[in-house]
Amino acid sequence: MEQVFAVAMSGGVDSSLTAKMLLEQGHKVFGITLRLWVENTPEDDVPLAVTDAKKMCDFLGIKHYVVDARHVFYENVVDYFVKEYARGRTPNPCVFCNKNIKFDLLLHRALELGATHMVTGHYAQVKYNQTTGLYELHKGADPTKDQSYVMYTMNQHILSHIVFPLGAQCKTETRKEANRYQLPVANKPDSEDICFLPNHNYQGLVQRELKQPVKKGKIVHENGEVLGTHTGLFNYTIGQRKGLGIAYSTPLYVTKLDAEKNEVVVGPNESLFTKRMICKFYNFLDGVTPKVLHAEGKIRYAANPASCTAHILEDGTMEVVFDEPQRAITPGQSVVFYKGTQVLGGGVIDKVC
């Protein structure tokens, strides 16, 4: 069967280079772009990402398709993002976008359009293990750009149709190759922060989308002393020190966001170190949930993996215990399990024990 590659085009250097590389190899290629919900964007305005992707497809001489995912994106990513912050959590929207949009909706549409594979510019690697007969997800070779942490929700069907051509190289090589091919976006800056927040003000989004008055409450020392008033739980995150608006004799950090009491709890740095957490919405890429798993766990995108043990409790949740205490384990973030460079699975942190 002839291979046809649908390149998820964003108008940036990574996706543009992947399309060019495949064309140079003689493959059949077309571009496909998600039109997502973006805050304060009128219904008739086409986002810059879509127009830039169209320009690059025209430059490369390939067809370009647009998938209007505004409604489903809002329901599955933005609404979840807002509600999690309102509950005193710190969500990672990329995890749920990958799960419900990029590697679900977009992949499904690419296959409908005749593609055998969907290609993205992510810095991760898919490998086929001939011994086990399973596809594996591995870290990208560039540790500063590795995106495997937000991809633990994948399964074997998805992995069998995904290609990451840039996963084995560094971003500096991507820039170099893009300039060699004289791509117009060779030196285009990387996109940063949250794609649906052009002004980067997530607090404003949460407040507007909740459509209700901000619930102020107490800032309480873990010893019970009331130190001040907070401006809404969504304005704080675990480990935060600056911007608390309180005075104390020693440095204090946010150690807990108590949604039931509507309180921000603060304490010394040592109170941020814990070993145990309970997780929900877990997934393992081989399709098998292990009874007990010994692996290296990563509690946030920029964290270093550390040895831990995970097992499923009677109520169906997953308990994860680290060998050594970890700093600022944060509900709403994910813990992702690695074996060397391989991603085994992960889950959303529900509570810290």
**Residue 36 to residues 69, 70, 282, 288, Cα–Cα distance (Å):** 5, 4, 26, 32
CB contact at 8 A, 16 and 33: no
97 counts as catalytic: yes
Backbone angles phi, psi at 175, to 5 degrees: -60, -45
Chain centre distance of CA 323:
25
140 closest CA partner among 132, 129, 128, 149: 149
- How far apart, in whole angstroms, are the C-alpha atoms of residue 234 and residue 170? 35
Catalytic residue (choose from 57, 97, 279, 308): 97
Is residue 353 annotated as part of the catalytic site, yes or no?
Answer: no
Quick one: 241 exposed, middle or buried, by C-beta within 10 A (0-12, 13-18, 19+)?
exposed
Instruction: Write down the catalytic residue from 57, 94, 195, 308.
Output: 195
- What is the residue-wise DSSP string for 300-343? STTSPPEEEEEEE-TTS-EEEEEEEEEE---BTBEEEEEETTEE
Q: Does 15 belong to an annotated binding site?
A: yes
Q: What is the 3-state secondary structure (H, E, C) of 205-250?
A: HHHHHHCCCCCCEEEEECCCCEEEEECCHHHCCCCCCCCCCCCCCC
267 annotated as ligand-binding: no
Phi, psi (deg, nearest 5) at residue 54: -60, -45
13 labeled binding residue: yes
Q: Residue 192, exposed/middle/buried by CB under 10 A (0-12, 13-18, 19+)? A: exposed
* Enclosing H/E stretch for 49: helix 48-60
Q: Are 153 and 283 in contact (CB under 8 A)?
A: yes
Q: Is 217 annotated as a binding residue?
A: no
- Annotation: binding site: 8-15, 34, 121
Return the active site residues: 97, 195
